Chain A
Amino acid sequence: MIEDYKKLAELKKEYLAYEGSEVITWCSGCGNYGIQKAIERAVVLEGYKPKDVLFCYDIGCHGNGSDKMGKTEVYTLHGLHGRVLPVAAGAAVSNPNVKVIAAGGDGGTMSEGINHLVHTIRNDYPMIFILHNNENYGLTTGQASSTTRRGLAMNGSPDGVMMEPLNCSEFALNLGASFVARVYSGDVKHMTKVLRAALNHKGFAFVEVMQVCPTYNKATPVEWYEERSAPLKSTPKTRSDALKAARDMEKNMKLGVLYQDKKTVNFLDRLVNRKDVKSVPVDEVKRFNISELIKRFM
């Protein structure tokens, strides 16, 4: 890790390009500060220039990070609630030369747009997705999400949540995701390391961040995570081992890359009709001669 700091010091100029506005729109102690830092460090350490990255944000507290990423060089898209995955995927497959890093919350991802998550995983689009799981709807003042723990009384659910929460990483693993990781928003160093691995993944990299929400999620504060979470010693070899590691969200929460299929054939490499195409769609926009195609209608 000392290495990383040295390198970051050398890459000061590059690093500062990602440093954005100082407008504070997050609560004091919010997990988003740490996540933002880790993203900035990971892209700089992996050598991405701002122009070669596109940040896509969903709607929610994490989405307010869109204002804080870079001042003049960074490209950002802040879209609709629950829809960040398809808009980011459309960008990622149209210009694979630009690294697409998308982010969403547990509300947008696991409720409003959960169908997109299912199919984004199936398609293995070449992009990173950072799921900010703070186990509630923060921006709309603390309603229950599908990851809120059972029994907790929330805004709009005064009698407590009646159902068991969804386990996001387990969900992604079960759908066959080629890269699944779980990290904790309080550990910037570890997050940076995992995000760097995600940046180097060929297909869809799903990174679940267990995020503290000091304002609305009193059940799992910083101490809670510190007491029961620990980085994995190594990445489980098989999907079923990964599932075992991902399952426990109560007593012994495993953090790190839970699963990676390094040999995954991503969406773009599966396209039969573009097998030997070297260019990317955005560079191919020009008049196409249809005179051959039209012959059959004469």
Chain B
Amino acid sequence: MNRTTLKIAGESGMGLLSVGRIVAKVLKHMGFYVYSDREYPSLIKGGHSNLQIDFGLKPIRSLSREVDLVIALDRAGLVEYLEVIKKGGILVHGYERAHLIKGLKEKAKSRNVTLVYLPAHSMARKLGGTDVMVNMVLLGMMWKILGLELGPLEAAIKKQFASKPVLLKIDLKCVRAGYEASEIKAVKPYKLKLPVKKPKTLLLDGNMGIALGAIEAGVRTYFQYPMSPSSSILMYLANFSHDTRMLVRQVEDEITAAEMSLGAMFVGSRSFTATSGGGYDLMTETVSLAGMTETPWVCVLCQRPGPATGLPTWTAQGDLNMAIHSSHGEFPRLVLAASDPSSCYELIQHALNYAEEFQIPVILLSEKNICEAQAMVEPFKAKIPIKRGLVTGKALEDLKPADRFKITKDGVSLRWLPGSSSTGYFGNGDEHKEDGTLTERGEEVVPMFDKRMRKLETLKKALPDPKIYGVKSDADISFIGWGSSKPVMLDTIEEMRAQGKKVNYLHYEYLWPLKEKAAEQFFKTNKNVHILEGNYQGQLANLIESATGLKFKGKYLKYNGRGFFLEDMMDYINKHS
């Protein structure tokens, strides 16, 4: 594998995140490809967490399971990660009583891992720093081991802490002390091949992709109730709100967020909301109302493992069934899934367009590791036009109330905004006639129901087909998946190609209405098709199997809260092909 993997581990609140951000940024500016994610418990301070950075000379889209170098800021970091260090790897730590940990030395020796102790606490204190600055000392040491020059790192630290000049001075001293520490003699520094050119890229997380896409798409009102891992969408939009003048509000609960967003869309602002599974549960009656009143509505559903509170700060693909089947009654909806910051940025714009053009609720799925991982993507190029499907201009003068829910062939009727025409209409949550007025007559109910449901067929035809990555056909092994299955598959396909194995992957970006023909075709041209999903049941697999009668050869299902690791995929492939 052509990448270097670092893990920085310690107690939450020890400054892991700032160190991780600095390292990822410096590596990016040096021209490396970087991917970084954080594992942490649902606590603000205390509890153990770690931040992993994979970097190399080629695009990196997923984390590897095993790491080259671990920097442990605390005891847990020292004990927990010995197992994930590659043979011949290095563990640098600042834990004074490491010699008291039973079997540590022997374990390290058996795995051929070099343990390096740096008295980082006393070094930091001697330089006038606090315990938090242990991270800077160890960072300096890490940088030395990586064989990289100190200059760019120092420059990045200066930039990051520019607002705190007193602490910055001590930070810089600590980094240098770590870099120059004599303990380095125990290890041989890496000789990394340095990038010759700097690729033009963006480094950001998926929730930032959502925020930027939404801003670009003309969202003007945003309502959310915080819930991990969706909360940073609220933070990003709020922090941008002086530039954008967007109305951004944290409201009293998810029901309110959903309803305010619906009200905003009804009168014609662009709006959306975001939440995670439990919050979405509360929104479901509103989804149903959007379906019945044919009001555009968009929710970003950032998945984490359930049921109930589950693993609040970990990742999953467990809510596909919910996104498709939630809410009472039957009505058309669109479910789509992002897989990286670029697709977050693009799909939120498409979600808003589809919602408005088809007058339906749209659920855009994301996952904790997409929401929060810092991924490197190409600069955003897609210029997605805003499509609102609204009656405008002179046509507003020739409307009848019955145009609003007119029974049409494709199921889509005219929509105009309250106040824009002197012809009004009735957005009715009760079953209704073409002008929205109530009916309970069976012979009027059925054509209106049919009209709404016809939108699903019209939508299905309008949606892009799933895409194949890797060889087009006759692969040794094939996968179908959605969401974060894509980035790991892209990395896997490249790694396996180097090993002489033909792998391909069919990615479902648009999940509902299901384009089952693409799966049928994929099964026809590939003999060994497996599913890759982050849930227990194989939710997409079940959808495809029940729609087509096909059977997957195998199911790679992961539901331990962790994302898909590259080595796991490679092991699975070697076992099944």
Q: B-contacting residues of A (Cβ < 8 Å)?
A: 21, 49-52, 54, 56, 59, 66-67, 70-80, 83, 86-95, 97-98, 115-116, 118-119, 271, 273-274, 277, 281-282, 284-290, 292-294, 297-298
Contact = CB atoms under 8 A, between A and B. Distances in A.
Interface stretch (B114-122, B208-216, B475-483): B208-216
A278 to B, nearest CB: 11
Contacts of A284: 218, 220, 245, 269
B247 A93 contact: yes
Nearest to A49: B422
B542 to A, nearest CB: 31
Given A119-B251, A285-B270, A90 B218 contact: no
B216 A290 contact: yes
B259 A87 contact: yes
B423 A52 contact: no
B577 interface: no
Interface bin, chain B = 35 or more
B317 interface: no
13 contacts: A67-B438, A71-B401, A77-B263, A78-B428, A90-B260, A116-B256, A273-B241, A285-B388, A287-B218, A288-B244, A290-B216, A294-B379, A297-B203
B419 interface: yes
A293 B243 contact: yes
B418 interface: yes
B255 interface: yes
Contact of A74 (B263, B264, B388, B424): B424
A94 B286 contact: no
Contacts of B255: 83, 86, 116
Interface in B255-269: 255-256, 259-264, 266-269
Contacts of A78: 426-430
B77 interface: no
A76 B266 contact: no
Contacts of B161: none
Per DSSP, chain B at the interface is mixed
B183 interface: no
A67 B241 CA distance: 39
Nearest to A92: B263
A94 B223 CA distance: 11
Contacts of B444: none
B474 interface: no
Contacts of B289: 79-80
Given A50-B422, A282-B417, 19 more contacts: A21-B437, A51-B420, A66-B426, A71-B401, A72-B400, A76-B428, A77-B427, A80-B259, A95-B267, A95-B269, A95-B419, A282-B220, A285-B220, A285-B268, A287-B218, A288-B216, A289-B216, A290-B215, A293-B243
B264 A281 contact: yes
Q: Which of A74, A289, A297 has the most CB of B within 10 A?
A: A297
A66 B429 CA distance: 11
B363 to A, nearest CB: 18
Contacts of A76: 424-428, 436
Contacts of B428: 66, 76, 78
A92 B221 CA distance: 11
Q: Which 10 A-B pairs have CB atoms at the shortest separation, nearest pair first?
A: A90-B263, A90-B260, A86-B259, A94-B269, A281-B220, A91-B263, A75-B418, A94-B264, A87-B263, A119-B252
Nearest to B386: A287
B228 interface: no
Contacts of A75: 418-419, 424-427
Nearest to A115: B252
Contacts of A273: 241-242, 245-246, 248
B388 A72 contact: no
B366 interface: no
B447 to A, nearest CB: 20
Nearest to B213: A290
Q: Which of B425, B427, B430 has the most CB of A within 10 A?
A: B427
A80 B248 CA distance: 24
A293 B269 contact: no
Nearest to B425: A75
A88 B426 contact: no
Nearest to B201: A298
Contacts of B202: 294, 297-298
A89 B261 CA distance: 9
A89 B424 CA distance: 20
A77 B293 contact: yes
Contacts of B285: 80, 83
A76 B241 CA distance: 31
